[in-house]
Amino acid sequence: MQAGQTLSHYRIVHKLGAGGMGEVYLAEDLTLDRRVALKVLSPALAQDPARLERFQREAKAVAALNHPHIVTIYSVQEADGIRFIAMELVEGDSLSLLVRPGGLPVQ
């Protein structure tokens, strides 16, 4: 996806990062006039029923939680054959910059 491209009612601003299941983009919600994060499932994984179920299960699990330190899920959608989760945008540094190699101490 590229900056300026529209997915449903979201306009892509730029890519924030990528992971094992797809990519995350900063986007503008054109309906509610706010910035959001879009987690887009890679097309290859969207064709795999087990991976698609995992993606949807992840969204449902996070949406069931309500805590200031957990992002809010706005929706799980499919538009133009692309499956994605629209969620709260959390500003800040990547955890890979904040957590030292080897992780955090248990305590």
pLDDT, residue 1, reads 87
What is the residue type of 80? D
pLDDT, residue 101, reads 83
Spans of the chain below 70 pLDDT? none
Q: Which fold has domain 6-91?
A: Phosphorylase Kinase; domain 1 (3.30.200)
**pTM score, whole prediction:** 0.84
From the number of C-beta atoms within 10 Å of its C-beta (0-12, 13-18, 19+), residue 25 rates as: buried
pLDDT, residue 43, reads 87
CB of 87 closer than 8 Å to CB of 37: yes
Structural tokens at position 30:
């054109």
52: Cβ contacts below 8 Å, ≥ 6 apart: 41, 45, 46, 83
The residue ranges of every structural domain in the chain are 6-91
pLDDT digits (tens, 9 = 90+) for 66-84: 998 889 999 999 999 999 9
Distance CA 25, CA 106 (A): 32
